[in-house]
Amino acid sequence: MSHLLNHFRTWSQSKKRIAIRQLSARHRQAMTQHLLALAPEDRYLRFGYAATDEHISAHVETLNFQHVTAFGVFNRSLKLVGLAQISFTFDRQCQRCAEFGVSVLPECRGRSLGRALFERAATHARNEGVARFLVHALTQNRPMLHIAKSAGASVHSEGDESQVIIVLPPADFDSQVGEVWHNGLAKAGYKLQKIWRRMRSTKPSPEA
């Protein structure tokens, strides 16, 4: 088991890939814990307002996973350290679009988790037939705006708010197979880590 887990870790690190798993309703607790761990200023950047604990709990509890897709990065302790969300909607021209939001815990910043989550979410939106990828961010949210600009986005700023628009190319074979492959590897890595942690916790202590 440890050999399989080490092989997965080596693959992720050697390719500089970040295992990103698509989340579901059964991950609500982990999502809530992640968002509650954000400092007040980080909550403000993520939601655009001073989100209280009650706001966050209600936000996660009422997510409709038929219209929202979430992605997460878990650390070795199976703690959700990076979380992205895309909400599917329609713009003024009645074109299907997706709005993106992301948060990363402070201890894991500077590792390109935000960028990886952005790219993962954009690929998923592309495969879902979305042509326009949107981000509504506060102008002071420089990391988010930097990620978007690096992806070729057009940024329209007005006062304290900025709107980011990315026109996504149509889905192709590579994007569709790549998403399935990536999600499968992330799920496998999570399950291996979970089994390994369970085995270690039940391992008998050596006799004194």
Residue 206 located in a structural domain: no
Q: Is residue 205 situated within a structural domain?
A: no
How many domains does the chain divide into?
Answer: 1
Q: Would you state the pLDDT for residue 16?
A: 55
**What domain range includes position 47?**
2-199
Q: Is the pLDDT of residue 189 over 50?
A: yes
CATH of the domain at 19: 3.40.630.30
pLDDT in tens, 161-179: 888 888 888 999 999 999 9
Per-residue tokens: 195: 């089994």
58 lies in some domain? yes
Distance CA 8, CA 186 (A): 9
Token duo for residue 98: 């997706």
The pLDDT, as a whole number, for residue 7 is: 44
Q: Confirm whether 207 is domain-assigned.
A: no
User: How high is the pLDDT of residue 13?
Assistant: 44
99 or 159, which is more confident?
A: 99
Q: Is residue 208 part of a domain?
A: no
Query: Is residue 173 situated within a structural domain?
Result: yes
For residue 8, what pLDDT is reported?
A: 38
Residue 168 lies in a domain: yes
Q: What is the pLDDT of residues 4-20, one digit of tens each?
A: 445 434 434 444 578 99
> Is residue 39 domain-resident?
yes
Q: What is the pLDDT of residue 87?
A: 93
